Structure 1
Amino acid sequence: MHFKGIRAISRSLQKNETSKSDIFKSSLTRIDETKHLNAFITVARKAGNNEVTNQKNHILTGTTFSLKDNYSSEGILTTCGSKMLANYKPTYNATVLNKLLNHGSQLIGKNNMDEFAMGSGSIESIYGPVKNPWSPDVLLNPSSKDWRVAGGSSGGGAVAVATGCCHFALGSDTGGSVRNPASYCGVVGLKPTYGLISRHGLIPLVNSMDCPSIFARSVEDAAIVLDTLKGRDIMDSTSIESKKLKICLNENYDISVKGLKVGIPKECLVHGMSQEVVDMWRWAADQFENAGAEVTLVSLPHMKYSIICYHILGNVEVASNMARFDGLKYGHRSSINESTYAMYAVSRREGFNDTVRSRILSGNYFLLKDNIEKYFYKAQKVRRLILKDYQKVFGAHNLYTSCDSDDSNSSGICDVLLAPTVISDAPLYSEFITEDNRTRSAEQDVLTQAANIAGVPAINIPTRLSRNNMPIGLQITGRHFSEPKILKAAAFLEKVAQFPNLEQHFTTQLDSSNASKPILQQMS
């Protein structure tokens, strides 16, 4: 049951082969078996917790899901992995949570994450780091002091889905924070077009780039969840109406890519990329070409500036968003009472880690009167150039054309872009911490950040295991509102790759004396 797809779960419920409570209990058991991976901050132990179901027999009915701990959930701790919000319980639900509950899905818990989503390893949480379940050290020795990182900042959700704790999870993707851990943990990670899913109730990092995103074990499951969550929300002025955007994947769906124009961005061959990733990229391009797709080398000349652009624009928005956490209205409050200013300063010093504080400082620096012209305004201009690069390759004069428009007659160089998600498989924790947060984030997000800068959709597909037996993923990117097209291309790649789920892989690795014992029970 742990690794069944959403459609299979729905069939089992319709045939009375299982029940919602059985599915919920099964997920709780798996969470307990894998607790040493530290994927959850809060576990919803009571079935029906926060339930507001109004619809019956929806395809999501009975499934379990988890939320990154920066989504508001009424009466449930929402900490953002930070001391600042360690005791915060929202008084309302995020729109995405209400939609899922209304369609019969069951919230199983809140996932661990980098503090306030600032990081690329899910190691900067006050609750401790998230561990990658594919790491043999974690599998055979849960108390091991070294292991592979899960990726970040949404690493907890990726681990929860990879280990079968839930059927899907929601993270937030601001610069690759869902696609990165999806690649490292061997699951599908879908970042939709900016505005396609409501951000209401998502505690913001960078408002203009934050994107509610989906972890799933298959492209079909990701499509089902996206179809449920998409649409206009009166609580989010940046959300977009999408009634005519048809997102449909099922067993009979045609995933032929004949005639599809696939672009290979030459700028994605970056310094430090492992040969394994390069070889897999070439293999995937050959698979598309052999299936009748037109594969073409393309250029995104300003993509190389996306990381610098993000650090300026992102930190400016961080400085603004973090100003609300002052110890007065809500959040951690210091016991210092010498003055309001002292209490304010010490509360933020105690409540935020070094990474958050440094991004606040740099963001305010970029906004100084003497700096705003040469940093902030210039970064905005570069952002426009990055957007124009995508417009050129996709043949769209305005990438923000209504999602109800037809792009089948696009005159662009390509329909989708194919590139690696990250430059290597998941690094060891001991190696990862040798560099500071900013350096690691720049390294990990170099291939994913541009999609957030431009607001275009992208999806990670687990494709191959490295020589270290760790997952490696590829990402497919499209123009705005081209989710049906990138999902179709992703489904094709998923089919030819035949990537195993975690239990299938490790079952083949077991000693014959343990072969009859469920693999994830051995991990507990």
Structure 2
Amino acid sequence: MLGRTLREVSTALKQGHITPTELCQKCLSLIKKTKFLNAYITVSEEVALKQAEESEKRYKKGHSLGDLDGIPVAVKDNFSTSSIETTCASNMLKGYVPPYNATVVQKLLDKGAVLMGKTNLDEFAMGSGSTNGVFGPVKNPWSYSKQHREKRKQKAHGENEDSNWLITGGSSGGSVAAAAAFTCFAALGSDTGGLTRNPAPHCGVVGFKPSYGLVSHHGLIPLVNSMDVPGILTRCVDDAAIVLGMLAGHDPKDSTTIQDPVKPFTLPTSADVNKLCTGIPKEYLAPELSSEVRSFWSKAANLFESEGAKVIEVSLPHASYSVVCYHALCTSEVASNMARFDGLEYGHRCDINVSTEAMYAATRWEGFNDVVRGRILSGNFFLLKENYENYFIKAQKVRQLIANDFVNVFNSEVDVLLTPTTLSEAVPYLEFIKEDNRTRSAQDDIFTQAVNMAGLPAVSVPVALSNQGLPIGLQFIGRAFCDQLLLTIAKWFEKQVQFPVIQLQELMDDCSSDFEIEKLSSVSLKQ
């Protein structure tokens, strides 16, 4: 059951093959057995069991709330959750319990979803590895897949192959790991420059970023308000569409959300792509792109062409400026957003009372890590009166040029863009930390940042396994508010490539005697 899709499990719940309480208990059991992944910061066991019991009562009365009723979900720990601690993986917010739910969280609960807990991340979502939060790094479940472990043993030459586990990517690594390890059926992440799509391919799951304004970000503790979007992580495209249908729509608490009513996001069982025009941005053929990702990208383009779709090369001439432009805008908004955490109004407060200035400095030194402090300093530099025009204003102008590039492409005959999501498969932790956070983020998000600056929808779909037995994914980018068309194309592609979903009994094969993973037969559907 735990290896099934959200839709399959929803059907099983409706048919009485399994109860919400049984399903919740199985997920809680697996969360405990995979604790070493460090995917969760807070496991809301009591809350989840209570919600599951309430769901079970509804099913018995025939009053199901829909496809999400009784379905275990997880939420990144930068979304506000009433009565559940929300930390952003930072000392600054340790112990903070919000008095309200983020809109997307409330919508999930209103549809009967069962909240398993809050997932781990880079501190305040600043990073691309999920390695710098105060609760420790997140480990990629694929580090322990049977095929990859055999490859590692061949290369290890006697050393402990588990000493250099794989990163998940970030900053939504906890949510991605939770979905990949079968501890939930959908997870929420946040996507500011690729924070959902970056880790998704590393863990073999679908990572979807909706159009900016389609889904409310009220209650999402902000990183960059003008780019932040709640992201959806599932094990198949159809499941992402189900969750999107529950979350999309106007929110009076978020003025950026669309005013028009949103239709249900129902994807067709089959799609005809022979009238489709797929664009391949020539600027995305980066020198650092691994040969395997490049090969799968080319094969995907050939697949569309073989099915009758038109595949053409397109140009996004300002794409090369996206990294530096994003850095200036991101750090500027970070500096503004982090100003509220001063020890008086919000967040941690130090014990120093010599002066207000000393208290501010000590509080922020204790509350923020080096990555957050570095971005605050950079942002404040860009926002200085003497620098404002030369940095922030110019970056805003470049952002508009980047957005116009996409408009020009989509105003031609192109329906969707096909690009890599990341430069390579997941890398080992010890290799990842050789680079500083800013450099790593710039490298890892080169294919995703421009999408956020343009406010477009994008989805990363797992394609195949690399020679090391690790997932590789590709990204589809669509027109603004054409999310359903984008997901329809992604679903068709997913069906063609048939990505091999990892099996539970292989997931943690021989990684620790302390964690004995259940066999699939023990969690199968009741007959």
Same fold flag (TM > 0.5)? yes
Q: Residue 125 in 1 paired to residue 133 in 2?
A: yes
Give, in angstroms, the shift of residue 8 of structure 1: 1.4
- Alignment correspondent of 2:234: 216
Deviations 1:492-520 (A, max 9, x none): 11111111112179389899xxxx97469
Q: Taking structure 1 as reference, are residues 244 and 230 closer, same or farther at Cα in structure 2, changes over 3 Å only? A: closer
Provide the C-alpha distance between the structure 2 equivalents of 1:49 and 1:197, rounded to a whole number of angstroms: 28
Kindly provide the amino acid, as one letter, of the partner of residue 330 in structure 2.
G
1:11-50 correspondence to structure 2 within 5 Å: 11-48=11-48
Give, in angstroms, the shift of residue 58 of structure 1: 0.6
Kindly provide the amino acid, as one letter, of the partner of residue 440 in structure 1.
R
Provide the C-alpha distance between the structure 1 equivalents of 2:348 and 2:145, rounded to a whole number of angstroms: 36
1:65-214 correspondence to structure 2 within 5 Å: 65-136=73-144, 144-214=162-232
Provide the C-alpha distance between the structure 1 equivalents of 2:119 and 2:190, rounded to a whole number of angstroms: 11
Provide the C-alpha distance between the structure 1 equivalents of 2:359 and 2:507, rounded to a whole number of angstroms: 55
Contact in 2 for aligned 1:75/1:90 (Cα 8 Å): yes
Kindly provide the amino acid, as one letter, of the partner of residue 487 in structure 1.
L
Contact in 2 for aligned 1:262/1:293 (Cα 8 Å): yes
Residue from 393, 396, 401 that aligns with 1:377: 393
Q: Taking structure 1 as reference, are residues 113 and 519 closer, same or farther at Cα in structure 2, changes over 3 Å only? A: farther
1:319-330 correspondence to structure 2 within 5 Å: 319-330=335-346
Give, in angstroms, the shift of residue 130 of structure 1: 0.3
Contact in 2 for aligned 1:174/1:209 (Cα 8 Å): yes
Provide the C-alpha distance between the structure 2 equivalents of 1:393 and 1:332, rounded to a whole number of angstroms: 47
- Alignment correspondent of 2:285: 269
1:236-251 correspondence to structure 2 within 5 Å: 236-249=254-267
Bigger shift: residues 497-506 or 386-395: 497-506
Deviations 1:13-71 (A, max 9, x none): 12211111111111101101111000000001115478598973411111010000000
The number of equivalent residue pairs is 499
Q: Aligned-pair RMSD on alpha carbons?
A: 2.3
Provide the C-alpha distance between the structure 1 equivalents of 2:370 and 2:254, rounded to a whole number of angstroms: 31
1:106-505 correspondence to structure 2 within 5 Å: 106-136=114-144, 144-249=162-267, 253-395=269-411, 412-503=412-503
SS of alignment partner, residue 462 of structure 1: strand
SS of alignment partner, residue 476 of structure 1: strand
Contact in 2 for aligned 1:148/1:428 (Cα 8 Å): yes
Q: Taking structure 1 as reference, are residues 262 and 35 closer, same or farther at Cα in structure 2, changes over 3 Å only? A: same
TM-score by length of 2: 0.91
SS of alignment partner, residue 460 of structure 2: strand
SS of alignment partner, residue 243 of structure 2: helix
TM-score by length of 1: 0.91
Contact in 2 for aligned 1:60/1:104 (Cα 8 Å): yes
Deviations 1:233-254 (A, max 9, x none): 000011113524442126xx22
Provide the C-alpha distance between the structure 2 equivalents of 1:174 and 1:487, rounded to a whole number of angstroms: 20
Question: Which 4+ runs in 1 deviate beyond 4 A?
Answer: 47-55, 137-143, 507-511
Kindly provide the amino acid, as one letter, of the partner of residue 270 in structure 1.
A
Provide the C-alpha distance between the structure 2 equivalents of 1:24 and 1:143, rounded to a whole number of angstroms: 33
Kindly provide the amino acid, as one letter, of the partner of residue 200 in structure 2.
A
SS of alignment partner, residue 109 of structure 1: strand
SS of alignment partner, residue 190 of structure 2: strand
Contact in 2 for aligned 1:262/1:294 (Cα 8 Å): yes
SS of alignment partner, residue 71 of structure 1: coil
Contact in 1 for aligned 2:504/2:520 (Cα 8 Å): no
Give, in angstroms, the shift of residue 174 of structure 1: 0.3
Q: Taking structure 1 as reference, are residues 331 and 508 closer, same or farther at Cα in structure 2, changes over 3 Å only? A: closer
Provide the C-alpha distance between the structure 2 equivalents of 1:510 and 1:346, rounded to a whole number of angstroms: 45
- Alignment correspondent of 1:403: none
Provide the C-alpha distance between the structure 1 equivalents of 2:482 and 2:519, rounded to a whole number of angstroms: 39
Q: Taking structure 1 as reference, are residues 143 and 69 closer, same or farther at Cα in structure 2, changes over 3 Å only? A: farther
Contact in 2 for aligned 1:39/1:111 (Cα 8 Å): yes
Q: Taking structure 1 as reference, are residues 366 and 378 closer, same or farther at Cα in structure 2, changes over 3 Å only? A: same
Contact in 2 for aligned 1:78/1:88 (Cα 8 Å): yes
Provide the C-alpha distance between the structure 1 equivalents of 2:209 and 2:519, rounded to a whole number of angstroms: 31
Provide the C-alpha distance between the structure 2 equivalents of 1:161 and 1:241, rounded to a whole number of angstroms: 32
SS of alignment partner, residue 142 of structure 2: coil
- Alignment correspondent of 1:400: none
Kindly provide the amino acid, as one letter, of the partner of residue 113 in structure 2.
S
Structure 2 unaligned regions, length at least 5: 154-159, 522-527
- Alignment correspondent of 2:156: none
Give, in angstroms, the shift of residue 136 of structure 1: 3.6
Percent identical residues: 51
Provide the C-alpha distance between the structure 2 equivalents of 1:135 and 1:63, rounded to a whole number of angstroms: 27
Deviations 1:370-425 (A, max 9, x none): 11111111101100100110110000xxxxxxxxxxxxxxxx23000000000100
Contact in 2 for aligned 1:137/1:144 (Cα 8 Å): no
Contact in 2 for aligned 1:465/1:472 (Cα 8 Å): yes
Deviations 1:224-280 (A, max 9, x none): 000110000000011113524442126xx2222121110000111112110000000
Kindly provide the amino acid, as one letter, of the partner of residue 166 in structure 1.
C
Which structure dedicates a bigger proportion of its chain to helix? 2
Deviations 1:75-130 (A, max 9, x none): 11100000000111101101111111110110000000000000000000100000
